[in-house]
Amino acid sequence: MSLPRAYVEHVAIRVPDVDRHVGFFRDVLGLAIRDEQLAMAGRPRQVWVLGSVQLIEDPDFAGPEGRLAHLGIMVDDYYGVLTRAAAWGAKALPAGPNWLELPGGLNVEILQASAGAVEAALAINPRA
């Protein structure tokens, strides 16, 4: 019997400034916004970044990103991403140069994907 295959489509996290975090995913990793839900009475603004996270805006959120330890992000240009992240202002963590802390405390681990893996993952339509 073969095992099922799976991947994390997104991780939902609360952040104090959605636009600042969207900027990192767009400018450093080249990930576009997949969907956005504007704030309405009783419902916060939310943004889904293609192939990764759901950002839930909570301006009063003061801690690190809740109980989330980190996001593991597969990339097709490891050194390019690390260079852009440093220029963007991400801080390297003691765990290694591919472990970064963003403003607000979100930690990300940058991992080199095998050839074609990122394109294949992003071609998946989770809503089809």
Do the Cβ atoms of 114 and 121 come closer than 8 Å? no
pTM above 0.85, yes or no: no
One-letter amino acid identity for 10? H
Going residue by residue through the chain, which has 128 residues, state the pLDDT in tens, using 9 for 90 and above. 543 344 555 677 888 889 999 999 999 989 889 899 998 988 889 898 987 788 888 888 777 555 566 787 888 888 988 998 999 999 999 989 999 998 878 888 888 888 888 778 878 777 77
Class of domain 11-122: alpha beta
